[in-house]
Homo-oligomer: A and B are copies of this chain.
Amino acid sequence: MLDAAREEFSARGYEKTSVRGIAKSAGVDSALVHHYFGTKEQVFEAAVEGAFAPVLAARNTVLDAPLDEVGERMTRMIIGLWENPATRAPLLAIVRSAVNNETAAGVFRRLVASQLLRRIAGQIGRPDAELRAELAAAQLVGVAMIRYVIKVEPLASADPEQIIRRLAPVVQGHLTGD
């Protein structure tokens, strides 16, 4: 059911997805979806949290890094997740939903901000660390938008290692620079 939910949300976005459509594509009754997850919002949260699991799993490679390698690890994690077709689809669904729907934006804020950026900020340990982590994340979110979502050339076809080489020092600069 969650796979079906992710596919529906990914293809249609939050607004246009219905519990009925999810149930149909999973080959079950709507009542069963409601029984397990509750409202559409709750199905969405469960689907996004599931989609977000690889990010949370990859998070430790960033959180365990020495402070002067956090920028490269964070860059490599995000580009790696977008390069992997299995994680790209759910990330696309998250982005599409979050820009169009306040419920989805709330899930994004809670998961990305609290579960990822605040942890990285904690590791930086400066008074402005959260703002630093968000500006670093902004660089990576923007690259994801231009390369993977809107697909503007030449960035869309550039070698991922070249992108990582260019972005890692910028991300590191945001996190720990003067």
Residues of A within 8 A of B (CB): 13, 15-16, 95-96, 98-100, 105, 108-109, 112-113, 117, 130-131, 134-135, 137-143, 145-147, 149-155, 158, 163, 166-167, 170, 173-174
Contact = CB atoms under 8 A, between A and B. Distances in A.
B134 A155 contact: yes
B141 A146 contact: yes
Given A13-B100, A98-B150, 10 more contacts: A15-B16, A99-B149, A109-B150, A113-B153, A134-B152, A135-B167, A140-B142, A142-B143, A170-B173, A170-B174
Contact of A130 (B108, B154, B167): B154
Given A135-B167, A170-B173, A150 B100 contact: no
Contacts of A139: 138-139, 142, 170
Contacts of A98: 149-150
Contacts of A149: 98-99, 105
